[in-house]
């Protein structure tokens, strides 16, 4: 914790204590006549004498009294002596930053020392709420401390961290910059700002701030770990590995660094080393979901490779001889074109790009491995951005740089569609007949904005793309509405989804236990018909 300014009072002035602290020092304050202050006989509001029948206490231990007419309307208006939000603590030794040894109320020399710790208590509560994930409540308490003391840098650091969790990265940066103006060598503030800039997509600036934080505080393990993550985004794997190793040398219990190092090992094909890193992360923190997910991905890759090998070998052993004999048994053999549709109307694969001629203000993103003859289609090379395959978090973060996602009709975005909608980017999709062509439509419907993003024909697809590209206010309104719905729409209501999935599992299990055969059923959110817990 940073050093804070505090107020000090002499016990001779009936200074206030928290209830817990009172019991600890009650003998001391009795000896020093703490309760013999005139405040016992005078109204705390108007300072006029009080009759016995006119006294009014807020609690059984309270020594402060008011006229009935003077009692404040709200308890928060009273600096109540025994409320937990307004405690005082006894200091036996002289605090080093109170060199004058004077009471702030009367400037007399102090014999015993009490300091006002209201801000401390509120800030402690804010930290507890932050750790519990209640960021909005934590922000309320931290802002109250900020209003009383805007120069308190430890509170500014916490406020910045809270804003980061609330994804208000601009406010996170602003509060950390305030703290740095007061205390320029505050390494943690540079680390927090780097995190925010990384989320905003400015990885280069984030790296610069991480390096400043490390220069100010070389043993700053979190900064080393986060710097590794930034280097990974830039593809600088060797430097990222060194940063992870440095972070773990400073703090072997840093689960993020173990997980990142595992990702780096996996990227280099060092599967066993990656496995060891992920395993160490979950050993340290069994609830660390990212490491469990990485472990699952590791096994999935291995499992699929084994499946592919076994499947290939089995196919060869069964059909190779028969296939070769069929090829050589006749001089002429027909080979059917599977992709040719018997319908009169076939899919024009270039139709999806027909909107290009109508626009001049667009930029198209495609994977580097995609084949596109840009010149043949009249597309200037500057209007195309080639991107590499990215890690999940980076993929979602860079999606927000797009204005609209043009879903591919023949095979929709599935997980990628969910990712871009979570990023708050509108999508245009055309559902067709097959399941793979209708997934994105289901995703859009689940956001509550399907009517704005689903079209019924290729012509409407083109019209919608051009309309959104040329009507910026309309596109901005749709984007704003989509982002506002993310935390309330069914698509991202994971707890509801899990509960309904459990309903189906229990239904199947109950059918099995009752001796019934498997049957079709439609899950409804009815605890009597489809319980989720039995």
Residue 183 and residue 153 in contact, taking contact as beta carbons nearer than 8 Å: yes
Beta strands 8-9; 113-116: pairing state: antiparallel
Q: Give 197-229 pLDDT, tens digit per residue.
A: 998 888 899 999 999 999 999 999 999 999 999
State which of 54, 89, 115 marks the end of a domain: 115
Where residue 461 sits, what CATH number does that domain have? 3.40.50.2000
From 296, 311, 331, give the residue that closes a domain. Answer: 296
Residues 276 and 358 in one domain: no
Question: Does residue 174 belong to any structural domain of this protein?
Answer: yes
Q: How much of the chain, in percent, has pLDDT values that exceed 70?
A: 60
Domain extent for 507: 493-534
The verdict on 452 and 504 lying in the same domain is no
CA 403 to CA 469: how far, in whole Å?
8
348 token code pair: 């024009």
**Closest alpha carbon to 207 in 234, 238, 184, 185:** 234
H/E run at residue 8: strand 8-9
389-406 average pLDDT score:
81
Query: Is the alpha carbon torsion for 299, 305, 309, 311 positive or negative?
Result: positive
Question: Are 416 and 439 within 8 A, CB to CB?
Answer: no
Widest CA span in the chain: 122
**Confidence bin at 452 (pLDDT 50/70/90):** very high
- State whether 484 and 501 are in the same domain: no
- Reading phi first (left if > 0) and then psi (alpha if -120 to 50, else beta), residue 509 is in alpha
Q: Evaluate whether residue 250 is within a structural domain.
A: yes
Judgement on whether residues 402 and 461 belong to the same structural domain of the protein: yes
By the 8 A CB rule, do 20 and 125 touch? no
Determine the Cα–Cα distance for residues 362 and 481; give it in Å rounded to an integer: 22
Tokens of 150: 């805007």
Bigger pLDDT: 398 vs 470: 470
pLDDT of 384 over the 80 cut: no
On whether residue 35 sits in a domain, the answer given is yes
Predicted confidence at residue 49, as pLDDT, reads: 55
Q: Is the same domain home to 286 and 388?
A: no
Asked if 128 and 224 sit in the same domain, the reply is: yes
Is position 469 within any domain?
yes
Q: Are 192 and 176 in contact (CB under 8 A)?
A: yes
Once rounded to an integer, what is the mean pLDDT over residues 381-400?
Answer: 73
Considering the domain architecture, whether residues 391 and 269 belong to the same structural domain is answered as no
Pairing of strands 88-91, 113-116: antiparallel
* Helix, strand counts (H, E) of the chain: 19, 7
**Does 278 reside within a domain?**
yes
Same domain, 132 and 151: yes
Structure tokens at 274: 């990656």
Please state, in angstroms and rounded to a whole number, the distance separating the CA atoms of residues 246 and 254.
11
207: enclosing H helix or E strand:
helix 203-216
Question: Of the residues 250, 277, 296, which one is the last residue of a structural domain?
Answer: 296
Question: Does residue 315 lie within any of the structural domains?
Answer: no
Distance CA 34, CA 32 (A): 6
- How many domains, the chain? 4
- Evaluate whether 444 touches 421 at the Cβ level (below 8 Å): yes
Examine the domain organization and report whether 67 and 206 are in the same domain: no
Query: Which residues have CB under 8 Å from 282's CB, separation 6+?
Result: 288, 291, 292, 295
**110/213 same-domain check:** no
What average pLDDT score do residues 170-198 get?
94
Same domain, 132 and 244: yes
Structure tokens at 452: 């704005």
Alpha carbons 456 and 493: distance in angstroms, whole number: 27
- Nearest CA to 260 among 233, 284, 287? 233
Is residue 312 one of the residues assigned to a domain? no
Whether residue 130 is found in the same domain as residue 41? no
Range in 27-36, 202-211, 271-280, 490-499 with the lowest mean pLDDT: 27-36
Where on the phi/psi map is residue 384: left (φ > 0), alpha (ψ -120 to 50), or beta?
Answer: beta
- Please enumerate in sequence order all residues whose Cβ is within 8 A of that of 170, keeping only pairs 6 or more positions apart, or say none: 196
Within a domain: 342: no
pLDDT digits (tens, 9 = 90+) for 318-371: 455 555 555 555 555 555 555 455 555 444 544 555 555 555 555 555 544 444
Q: Over 70: is that where the pLDDT of 47 sits?
A: no
Report residue 257's pLDDT band, with 50, 70 and 90 as the boundaries: very high
- For the stretch 51-110, pLDDT in tens is 544 444 333 333 444 444 444 443 333 333 333 333 333 333 444 444 455 544 445 554
Lowest mean pLDDT among 169-173, 178-182, 530-534: 530-534
């Amino acid at each position: 914790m940073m050093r804070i300014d505090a107020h000090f009072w002499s016990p001779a002035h009936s200074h206030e204590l928290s209830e817990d602290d009172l019991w600890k020092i009650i003998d001391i304050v009795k000896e020093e006549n703490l309760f013999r202050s005139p405040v016992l006989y005078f109204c705390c509001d108007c300072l006029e004498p009080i009759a016995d029948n006119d006294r009014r206490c807020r609690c059984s231990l309270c020594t402060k009294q008011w006229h009935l007419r003077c009692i404040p309307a709200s308890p928060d208006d009273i600096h109540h002596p025994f409320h937990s939000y307004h405690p005082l603590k006894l200091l036996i030794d002289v605090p080093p930053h109170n060199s004058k040894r004077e009471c702030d109320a009367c400037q007399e020399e102090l014999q015993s020392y009490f300091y006002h710790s209201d801000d401390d208590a509120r800030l402690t509560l804010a930290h507890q709420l932050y750790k519990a994930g209640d960021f909005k409540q934590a922000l309320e308490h931290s802002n109250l401390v900020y209003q009383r003391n805007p120069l308190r840098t430890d509170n500014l650091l916490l406020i910045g961290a809270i804003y980061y969790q609330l994804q208000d990265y601009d406010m996170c940066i602003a509060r950390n910059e305030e703290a740095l103006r007061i205390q320029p060598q505050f390494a943690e503030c540079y680390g927090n700002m780097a995190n925010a800039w990384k989320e905003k997509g400015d990885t280069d600036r984030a790296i610069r701030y991480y390096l400043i934080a490390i220069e100010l505080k070389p043993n700053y393990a979190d900064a080393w770990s986060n710097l590794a993550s930034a280097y990974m985004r830039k593809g600088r794997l060797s430097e990222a590995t060194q940063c992870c190793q440095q972070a773990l040398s400073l703090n072997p219990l840093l689960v993020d660094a173990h997980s990142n190092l595992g990702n780096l090992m996996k990227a280099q094909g060092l599967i066993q080393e990656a496995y060891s890193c992920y395993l160490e992360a979950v050993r340290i923190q069994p609830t660390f979901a990212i490491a469990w997910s990485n472990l699952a991905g590791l096994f999935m890759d291995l499992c699929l490779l084994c499946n592919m090998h076994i499947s290939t070998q089995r196919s060869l052993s069964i059909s190779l001889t028969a296939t070769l004999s069929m090829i050589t048994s006749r001089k002429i053999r027909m080979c059917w074109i599977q992709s040719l549709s018997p319908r009169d109307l076939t899919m024009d694969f270039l139709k999806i790009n027909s909107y290009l001629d109508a626009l001049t203000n667009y930029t198209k993103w495609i994977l580097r491995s995609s084949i596109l003859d840009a010149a043949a289609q009249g597309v200037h090379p500057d209007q195309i951005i080639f991107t590499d395959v990215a890690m999940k978090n980076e993929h979602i973060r860079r999606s927000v740089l797009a204005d609209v996602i043009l879903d591919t009709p023949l095979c929709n975005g599935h997980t990628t569609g969910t990712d871009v909608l979570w990023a708050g980017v509108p999508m245009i999709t055309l559902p067709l007949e097959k399941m793979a062509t209708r997934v994105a439509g289901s995703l859009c419907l689940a956001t509550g904005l399907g009517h704005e993003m689903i079209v019924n024909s290729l012509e409407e697809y083109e019209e919608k793309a051009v309309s959104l590209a040329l009507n910026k206010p309309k596109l901005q309104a749709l984007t704003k509405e989509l982002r506002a719905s993310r935390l309330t729409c069914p698509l991202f209501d994971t707890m509801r989804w899990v509960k309904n999935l459990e309903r189906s599992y229990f239904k199947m299990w109950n059918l099995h236990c009752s001796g019934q055969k498997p049957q079709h059923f439609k899950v409804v959110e009815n605890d009597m018909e489809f319980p989720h817990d039995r």
